Structure 1
């Protein structure tokens, strides 16, 4: 397990009781370097959407726990926020919640000369995603070929 994965996993463990206390959902945790700064980001959600006050409450409690446990030696910036409209779907619960919703899938390698598909997620398993296209046909897309899958949104 890499340092990045270890920090993300330990942070998730610290977050779980906080998230349960507020009846929120932990969407994702990421530890990333952008420019010269490290960021520890926690994405949370709830029915009806997350507010700034929700993020602040979780951030304060998490910050105290991170200071106490002190398992990340690097200087980093802590951010707690909503996952946003265009968030990437990563976990099984994300896929289950997105059945019958419109998704955008970007591929590593083209299928039928296309590297991007938009359609309704009708099924998924460990091997593939099945989406229904605009013409009502379906296509199976191997998970190993998926660079990104997220909910589609129109402006």
Structure 2
């Protein structure tokens, strides 16, 4: 689940100030200890030292501002080869790449789509699946991933 906007607004400037792309953040609340996962990227790739550097800086901001009640684990990661989509503009940015889309409900009897991403047309994502273009409203998308080639 996407992290709350107040959390994103606190950590984005820190990540970008360190020279990394802020890809997005997820927050998974739990009874005992939640999980805040931050995804970062850079043109040179992301190494463990990069994640540690961002984690250290973001921890300081979160400790001072305390935007999340209770205990949680902070995790910093690269988006990996299955890059989660946090910003709708990513559908345009990664046009031509393979994508997986999980829908909020059934559309034409299906909950999942997988194929080549054609792009974003207004508030609709177009994906080519088995030679046919399928258009899906952004509001119907629950989760999406861009499958980047290694």
TM-score tier (shorter):
0.7 to 0.9
Q: Which residue is 1:110 aligned to?
A: 107
Are the equivalent residues in 2 in contact too, given 1:124–1:130 (CA < 8 A)?
A: yes
Distance 1:102 1:129 in 2: 13
Name the stretch that deviates more: 48-57 or 10-19: 10-19
Among candidates 94, 100, 113, match of residue 98 of structure 1: 94
Distance 1:26 1:153 in 2: 18
Q: Which residue is 1:59 aligned to?
A: 55
How many corresponding residue pairs? 149
Q: What is the alpha-carbon root mean square deviation over aligned residues?
A: 2.6
Are the equivalent residues in 1 in contact too, given 2:82–2:147 (CA < 8 A)?
A: yes
Shift of 1:101: 1.1
Secondary structure of the residue that 2:85 maps to in structure 1?
coil
Distance 1:115 1:71 in 2: 34
Q: CA offsets per residue over residues 18-55 of structure 1, 9 Å max, x none?
A: 22233211111222124632112211111132111001
Distance 2:76 2:137 in 1: 32
Are the equivalent residues in 2 in contact too, given 1:126–1:143 (CA < 8 A)?
A: no
Secondary structure of the residue that 2:7 maps to in structure 1?
helix
Name the stretch that deviates more: 33-42 or 20-29: 33-42
Distance 2:12 2:142 in 1: 28
Are the equivalent residues in 2 in contact too, given 1:118–1:152 (CA < 8 A)?
A: no
Structure 1 residue 13 corresponds to structure 2 residue 42: no
Secondary structure of the residue that 1:13 maps to in structure 2?
helix
Which protein is richer in helix relative to its size? 1
Structure 1 residue 83 corresponds to structure 2 residue 83: no
Secondary structure of the residue that 1:92 maps to in structure 2?
coil
Q: Which residue is 1:41 aligned to?
A: 37
> What TM-score do the two structures reach when normalised by structure 1?
0.79
Are the equivalent residues in 1 in contact too, given 2:14–2:57 (CA < 8 A)?
A: yes
Structure 1 residue 68 corresponds to structure 2 residue 64: yes
